Amino acid sequence: MILDKEKLNAAQRFHVMRIIFGGHLHEYDYHYVGFCQEFLKDYLENAGYTNIRRVASLNLFHDASNLVYQSVRISLNTIGEKPA
């Protein structure tokens, strides 16, 4: 996990937290919820999604979802399928 105390010191974990939840520098720089892979997968399964998996990038546009910090991807970048 990116916020592992064994991998990152307090300043590094704080930096990652600001990336995940926004730097709060202006009104659009906020995220109110953060998920771990386990919780996100559970929510998606409860919504009817199947074949849920993490991918390196969603390839939608260049933003922090593609960011790698200390050799670890920050975003969950998860896709799944919802049967018709």
pLDDT digit string (tens) for 31-76?
Answer: 778 888 899 999 999 999 999 999 988 888 777 778 888 887 878 8
In a domain, 2, yes or no: no
In a domain, 48, yes or no: yes
In a domain, 3, yes or no: no
pLDDT tens, 6-17?
A: 888 889 888 888
CA–CA gap between residue 30 and residue 7 (Å, rounded): 26
25 confidence band (pLDDT: 50, 70, 90): confident
CA–CA gap between residue 81 and residue 45 (Å, rounded): 10
In a domain, 70, yes or no: yes
Q: Which domain holds residue 22?
A: 10-81
CA–CA gap between residue 4 and residue 70 (Å, rounded): 11
- Residue that wins the pLDDT comparison between 32 and 1: 32
